[in-house]
Amino acid sequence: MKWGIIMKAMKKVSALLIAVLLSVAIFAGCGGTGTSDEDAIKEVVAQFEKSVQTQNIDDMLKCFDPDSSAEVQTVIDQASEFGMTKDEIASSFFAQLSSNPSSAKFTTENIVIDGETATADVTLNADDVEDSTSELTFKKIDGTWYIDGSGSGLA
C-alpha cells in the first residue's frame, strides 16, 4: 500500500513537472528590472534557461505565479514524506527534458502583451531532442512577470 501511495505521488509530481517542461516554463521573480515588459519576459526565459542548465529545481519553481509554485512545492513535499528526495525528483524531471540539460537553449518570439497578461512562443532546443515550440501565458503580479501556471495545466 505504501508503495502505491509513493507511486501516485511521484506520478503527480512527474505530471506537474512534465507540464512545466512542455510549457517550457518561464522563470519568476525576474522581469522587475527590464526596460520594458517585453524585455522582462525575455529575461524570465533566460533565467529559466539557466535553471534548467544547472538543474536547479528551486530556481525553476520560482518561474511560476506564487499559487502554482506553492502547489508544485506541496506535491514535492508530499513525495518527500515517502522517502523521495527533492534531488531525486529533480533528476528524474531534468532527465525527461534531455540527457544533457546543460545543452538546453530557449528562444522567445511573438510576445503579445495585453495589460497584466502576455503570451509568447518559446522554443526549446537541446542536444538530443527535437526543437519544440509552445505558446506560454504570463501574468504580471506586483510588477513582476511569472508563467501563468493555470495556463500550463498546473492549477
The type of residue at 58 is D
The amino acid that residue 52 corresponds to is: V
- Strand 105-114 and strand 117-126: the pairing is antiparallel
| Structural domain boundaries in the chain | 2-152
CATH number for the domain running over 2-152: 3.10.450.50
| Coil/strand/helix, residue 120 | strand
* Cell of residue 136, nine digits: 506560454
- The contacts of residue 134 (CB under 8 Å, 6+ apart) are 22, 23, 24, 121, 122, 124
What is the residue-level pLDDT of the chain in tens, covering all 155 positions? 444 444 454 455 444 445 444 444 433 344 444 469 999 999 988 888 998 899 998 898 898 889 988 888 888 888 888 888 888 888 887 888 778 888 999 999 999 999 999 999 999 999 888 899 999 999 999 999 988 887 654 44
**Residue 38, number of CB atoms within 10 A of its CB:** 16
